[in-house]
């Protein structure tokens, strides 16, 4: 039995799992108040959860900045939302799997004069096989962890000035697949056999652990950070995976999934509702607060990940 198993096994409890299952049947809380004129930034809005969330915020009067990789799809969504809801919509094109583009996004958002009332880190991916970026980093790890971490931390001077803002990480109950925590010596899955589910779960676990550190750093400026599971909904996630996954997704996952409108309602509630104004460093199943698993609430592990990440980024010439 390794050290992680010895550490976490006594802390696991079935009530945590039963609570998650119960929460799957709960509809999200809804907020019906306007968000007129407020600036909202959302990554990955050309389809799925991000698309429906952008429409929800626009319908409630928000000014949108959408961060997307595909310029044609992004412009089509921009035109659609601006025409339908009559609210300002801007696009910023970037590949959030690339460190250079992640930093460009951070610099762009930092330059905005208007306070960012809500920042939603939604962009993500599910891969069956390991893929590397041009920076030599595993794609899943960058999209779900490094990108949101770097962008949020780069905004610290803006948050210090504006003293307002909510940051929401679109997470997943799949973080539970990292049952015994993260392997800090192999965060890039270079030595272990790659598993799509385990790597996805590890990326989401790293994301959640980073929130503990970021929430503590940004709390003095009135900034809240929370993670949320968006429910079991039909999206285009995993569309580039092989035929077996596509069959499983089409016949099993999608058959029992809801629509992304459910996620959009939850994300609007978490971003706009006064009921969660001072709530930070929490994990929500849609809008129901949920207890994290032992590795996900391990603050020592979160600090260790932070230091390892700092070293990794220094090797790439990027400061954390």
Write the DSSP string, 60-98: TT-EEEEEES-HHHHHHHHHHHHHHH---EEEEE--TTS
Structure tokens at 166: 């909510």
Query: Does 13 fall in a domain?
Result: no
Q: According to the model, what pLDDT value does residue 258 have?
A: 63
Query: Does 24 fall in a domain?
Result: no
Q: According to the model, what pLDDT value does residue 253 have?
A: 45
Q: According to the model, what pLDDT value does residue 214 have?
A: 98
Q: According to the model, what pLDDT value does residue 24 have?
A: 87
What is the domain count for the chain? 1
Query: Does 266 fall in a domain?
Result: yes
> How does pLDDT run across 36-59, given as a tens digit for each residue?
999 999 999 999 999 999 999 999
Average pLDDT, consecutive stretches of 10 residues, N- to C-terminus, the chain (320 residues):
89 93 92 97 97 98 98 98 98 98 98 98 94 96 98 98 98 95 96 93 97 98 97 56 44 55 96 98 97 97 97 95
Q: According to the model, what pLDDT value does residue 233 have?
A: 63
pTM: 0.93
Structure tokens at 16: 């945590």
Q: According to the model, what pLDDT value does residue 241 have?
A: 43
Query: Does 23 fall in a domain?
Result: no
Domain that residue 187 falls in:
29-315
Query: Does 300 fall in a domain?
Result: yes
Query: Does 21 fall in a domain?
Result: no
Residue 120 exposed, middle or buried by CB count within 10 Å (0-12, 13-18, 19+) = buried
Q: According to the model, what pLDDT value does residue 247 have?
A: 43
Query: Does 122 fall in a domain?
Result: yes
Q: According to the model, what pLDDT value does residue 1 have?
A: 53
**CATH number of domain containing 39:** 3.40.50.720
> How does pLDDT run across 109-152, given as a tens digit for each residue?
999 999 999 999 999 998 989 999 999 999 999 999 999 999 99
Is residue 222 left, alpha or beta, with left meaning phi > 0 and alpha meaning psi from -120 to 50?
Answer: left
Contact between residue 64 and residue 57 where contact means Cβ atoms under 8 Å apart: yes
Q: According to the model, what pLDDT value does residue 232 have?
A: 73
Give the orientation angle of helix 48-59 with respect to helix 71-85, to 10 degrees.
30
Query: Does 20 fall in a domain?
Result: no
Q: According to the model, what pLDDT value does residue 105 have?
A: 98
Q: According to the model, what pLDDT value does residue 259 have?
A: 82
């Amino acid at each position: 039995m390794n050290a992680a198993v010895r550490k976490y096994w006594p802390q696991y409890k079935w009530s945590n799992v039963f609570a998650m299952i119960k929460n799957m049947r709960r509809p999200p809380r809804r907020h019906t108040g306007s968000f007129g004129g407020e600036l909202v930034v959302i990554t990955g809005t050309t389809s799925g959860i991000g698309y429906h969330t952008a429409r929800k915020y626009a319908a409630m009067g928000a000014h949108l900045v959408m961060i997307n990789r595909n310029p044609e799809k992004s412009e089509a969504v921009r035109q659609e939302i601006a025409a339908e809801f009559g609210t300002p919509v801007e696009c910023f094109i970037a590949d959030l799997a690339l460190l250079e583009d992640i930093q460009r996004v951070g610099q762009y958002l930092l330059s905005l004069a208007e306070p960012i009332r809500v920042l939603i880190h939604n962009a993500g991916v599910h891969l069956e096989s390991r893929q590397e970026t041009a920076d030599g980093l595993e794609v899943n790890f960058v999209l779900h962890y490094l990108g949101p971490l770097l962008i949020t931390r780069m905004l610290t001077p803006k948050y210090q000035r504006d003293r307002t803002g909510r940051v929401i990480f679109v997470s997943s109950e799949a973080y539970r697949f990292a049952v015994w925590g993260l392997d800090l010596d192999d965060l890039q899955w270079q030595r272990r056999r790659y598993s799509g589910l385990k790597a996805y779960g590890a990326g989401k676990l790293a994301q959640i652990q980073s929130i503990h550190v970021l929430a503590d750093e940004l709390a003095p400026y009135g900034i809240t950070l929370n993670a949320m599971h968006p429910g079991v909904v039909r999206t285009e996630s995993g569309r580039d995976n092989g035929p077996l996954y596509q069959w499983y997704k089409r016949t099993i996952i999608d058959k029992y999934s809801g629509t992304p409108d459910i996620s959009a309602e939850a994300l609007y509630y978490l971003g706009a509702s006064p009921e969660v104004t001072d709530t930070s460093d929490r994990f929500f199943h849609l809008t129901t607060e949920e207890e994290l698993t032992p590795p996900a609430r391990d603050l020592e592990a979160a600090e260790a990940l932070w230091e390892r990440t700092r070293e990794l980024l220094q090797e790439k010439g990027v400061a954390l």
